[in-house]
Amino acid sequence: MPDTPPTLAGHWARSRESALAALRRGDLAAAAQALAQLESLLAAAEGPAAARARAHAEIGDLAVLLEDYSGARRHYGAALALDPRQARFWFNRATVQRFLGDLAAAERDYDACLELDPADAQAWLNRSELRQQTAERNHLPQLEQALQAALGQWQREVPLRYALAKEYEDLGEWPRAWAQLSAGAALRRRHLEYDVRADLAALASIRDAFPDPPSAGVGAASPGPIFILGLPRTGSTLVERILGRHSQVQAAGELPHFGAAVVDAVQRRHAGRKLPRSQLIAESARLDFTALGADYLRRTRPRAGQRPFFTDKLPLNFLYCGLIARALPHARLVHVIRGPMATCYSIYKVLFDRGYPFSYDLNELADYYVGYRALMAHWERTLPGRLVTIRYETLLDQPQGTVERLLGELGLPWEPHCLAFEDNPAPVATASAAQVRRPLYRESRSLWRRYVRELAPLAARLEAAGIAIEP
């Protein structure tokens, strides 16, 4: 930060830390106020262009954490105007351009980033994912060259292999696509400390902790939340985009607040001590559910907007259906499903920023899928009438009928513009950021069939568990 007068640096550091502290405790209003203070300090500051550029970039980073992507884009643009030789500034602006749906601008910014830093493997992957690559317009020669330079450096090699897999698949070069994808996934898995058996045990523990339907008369009274849940890559972002077009629904994105509220509530009962997962699950069934629901609503208030309902589309909230039903008895639960093979392949082909460690090995992916299905079957039995199930394939084939049914089951009136989800201007900060900007994409349902032989071990594992691999 420019430090003239000398006290300015101290004010800057305090305001920045105030913003970060407010974000950590979920106080978005205080974080926004601290960010505004930083903007005022910067407007009054003098100093070298490079220092002012870094200050704009820091504000941009905070704006991203606040999900103010337009503000972040503005500050990254100011940083680039002052110091256009910083690859990271181009990368960051490209990323928020992608979230905001300006995919052509995002591609130009990733191009500029890679001109300055061709070793940025994540930029290669992000750029490949922006659009359908073609024989006339792709990055395959450059990607192959970048991969050769990255061999032996797994943090760079993995994203480059995923980028190559994406572009080869777009061009219909299925064997080459699979070779790169499977190599990238295996390399990522080797650098993860993960045991799928622990996750499967947790799924079983959740079923044991919530064996019966919830009692009546408990929980917070708010009707507001619509939870969109299931596994990732099943169409949950699409469903949220559809609901977000409704006049009564605020699309709030993937909110981590319910799980965080559960963990905090259990740990408060144990003086903040971190508990083994099995004990945490067992203890969660004995919480004050009304207080839990109120805490979740407090945490989500800054994201919920002013409309009567808001969405929370964190996929892994499927773990908490029993708790949600007790803490928020009027909440809606929308379970988005897709054919098993399409689901598993779509998960396998994504390099996730975080989470989903089961996704990089086909056997572990199959085992987790079986555990997920068992838990969802349990919720169907113990929460009768609470789950609205939307099948992705049916949404593709019968969009109007499916959306009419969804709105009806949620108690919302029909609004035809819900079908124009690709025109929804709201930002998307998930792996589907580019895909949801396009009309319904039907080809994705059968893409896994290009790899029937390679996916045979996964299919066999699903069938051995009694799961039909066709939708």
pLDDT digits (tens, 9 = 90+) for 327-358: 999 999 999 999 999 999 999 999 998 899 99
Least confident of 86-95, 262-271, 449-458: 262-271
Sign of CA dihedral 88, 93, 96, 97: negative
Q: Which CATH superfamily is domain 196-464 in?
A: P-loop containing nucleotide triphosphate hydrolases (3.40.50.300)
pLDDT for 221: 76
* Confidence label for 6 from pLDDT (cuts 50, 70 and 90): very low
pLDDT for 389: 98
pLDDT digits (tens, 9 = 90+) for 119-133: 999 999 999 999 999
* Confidence label for 439 from pLDDT (cuts 50, 70 and 90): low
Per-residue CA distances from 387 to 51, 56, 156, 257, 384 (Å): 53, 45, 41, 20, 7
Phi, psi of 389 (to 5 degrees): -100, 125
pLDDT digits (tens, 9 = 90+) for 100-154: 989 999 999 999 999 999 999 999 999 999 999 999 999 999 999 999 999 999 9
Question: Please, are residues 93 and 74 in contact by the beta-carbon 8 Å criterion?
Answer: no
pLDDT for 451: 98
pTM more than 0.85? yes
> Is the pLDDT higher at 423 or at 280?
280
Taking Cα atoms as reference points, which of 248, 405, 383, 267 lies closest to residue 327? Answer: 383
pLDDT for 4: 44
* Confidence label for 434 from pLDDT (cuts 50, 70 and 90): low
For the chain, the structural domain boundaries read 1-114, 118-191, 196-464
pLDDT for 205: 98
- What proportion of the chain, given as a percentage, has pLDDT over 90? 81
pLDDT for 245: 94
- On average, the pLDDT of the chain sits at 92
Architecture of domain 1-114: Alpha Horseshoe (1.25)
* Confidence label for 423 from pLDDT (cuts 50, 70 and 90): low
Taking Cα atoms as reference points, which of 140, 136, 144, 109 lies closest to residue 123? Answer: 109
Element (DSSP H or E) covering residue 228: strand 225-229
Alpha-helical (H) ranges within 139-195 are 140-150, 154-170, 174-190
Least confident of 34-43, 80-89, 385-394, 441-450: 441-450
